[in-house]
Amino acid sequence: MIVNFHKMQALGNDFVIVEHHYSEQKLFTKESIMAISHRLYGVGCDQMAMFYRENCFVHASFFNNDGGEAEICGNASRCLGKLMKRFYGMLRFTIVATGKDYDVQVNNDDTVSVNIGRPSIDGNSIGLSKKIADPLNISLKHDLQMEGKKFSKWGLNRMACVSVGNPHLVLFLDKMPPIEKVAEMGMVLSLHELFSNGINVSFVKIISDGLMEQSSFERGTGLTMACGSGACATAFLARELGLINGRSVVVRQRGGNLAIEFKEDESVMQTGPASYVFSGSIEL
């Protein structure tokens, strides 16, 4: 099977994007997605996205590089925005993914905005496998039954989880751990039995009311240069917990900055760059 693809990136989070009708997507197995995503034997990417167009709707499916499906991806959604403009002249459209709608707009400055909707702290939407008294105040000791030694060095203040279409666990720290510790601790937390579907993990330091620093470990992928949905989750939780007060904040990540804005209807908008890299084909 020959697969035509586009390679794109947003803040260093890279994607292989394939246009296929839904019926054709069924031809892709977990193994074929892993083969395409492999950085040595395939094209290489953090995630793979497949889509088909239907008027002003873009039906999309997102897959981590371990072949597992993700509900949504903020950075990949912005890449789709840039792709729709480049090849189809579309500046506004709606992504439909796992039954939810996400409005996308390509701006005059060539950045892309994606409205990820209203976040949810409902346990079912997050995928909590047991009842948690308060998703906004998770305890290492009581909820996760983990010792705090590994985290005390960086001053863990609060830990909370939320769904922004996909599930996120956010740790608010006094200082950022080195990236190898983010990888180590992120792996443990993302696979914790508390989270039935796994979870994306972000380590965050609040610098000011309008600026936060974030490093993310994404389930099924690992360390990434940036996480778009994670930035939305972080901003929402920081505001919900009273750690920031404004209606907008910049989330600084290894791959660059993402602007987050809280709309009047309490939905969350992310705005940032996305770039086309190249197109090609691969034989599976």
Q: In the chain, which ranges are continuous DSSP H helix?
A: 22-25, 30-37, 74-88, 123-126, 149-152, 179-190, 228-240
- Report the distance separating Cα 116 and Cα 224, nearest Å: 20
Report the C-alpha gap between 151 and 220 in whole angstroms. 23
Tens-place pLDDT, residues 137-147: 999 988 998 88
73 is catalytic: yes
Task: Please answer whether residues 163 and 125 qualify as being in contact, where contact means their C-beta atoms are separated by less than 8 angstroms.
Answer: yes
User: What torsion do the CA atoms of 248, 152, 198, 143 make, to the nearest 10 degrees?
Assistant: -100
Q: How far apart are CA 166 and CA 119, in angstroms?
A: 9
Report the run of H or E that residue 217 belongs to, with start and end: strand 211-218
Single-letter amino acid code for the residue at 253: Q
Q: Of these residues, 73, 79, 161, 232, which one is catalytic? A: 73
Is 232 annotated as catalytic?
Answer: no
The predicted-structure confidence for 198-208, as pLDDT tens digits, reads as follows 999 999 999 99
pLDDT of residue 150: 76
- Look at residue 22 in the predicted model and tell me its pLDDT: 60
Q: Which positions of the chain have pLDDT values less than 50?
A: none
Measured between alpha carbons, how far is residue 275 from residues 38, 43, 47, 159 in Å?
21, 17, 15, 33
Query: Of the candidates 6, 10, 8, 28, which has an alpha carbon nearest to the alpha carbon of residue 19?
Result: 6
3.40.50.720, 3.30.310.40, 3.40.50.150, 3.10.310.10: CATH of 123-266 = 3.10.310.10
CATH topology of domain 2-116+272-283: Diaminopimelate Epimerase; Chain A, domain 1 (3.10.310)
> For residue 152, what are the contacts with CB-CB under 8 A and spacing of at least 6?
none
Q: Which one-letter DSSP state was computed for residue 91?
A: S
CB count in 10 Å sphere of residue 86 = 13
Domain with CATH 3.10.310.10 in the chain: 2-116+272-283, 123-266
Q: Read off the tokens for 19.
A: 């246009």
Which pLDDT does position 130 carry in this prediction?
Answer: 76
User: Which of 79, 161, 227, 232 is labelled catalytic?
Assistant: 227
Q: Kindly list the distances between the CA atom of residue 133 and the CA atoms of 98, 139, 140, 274, in Å, as whole numbers in the listed order.
A: 28, 10, 13, 39
Report pLDDT for 251: 98
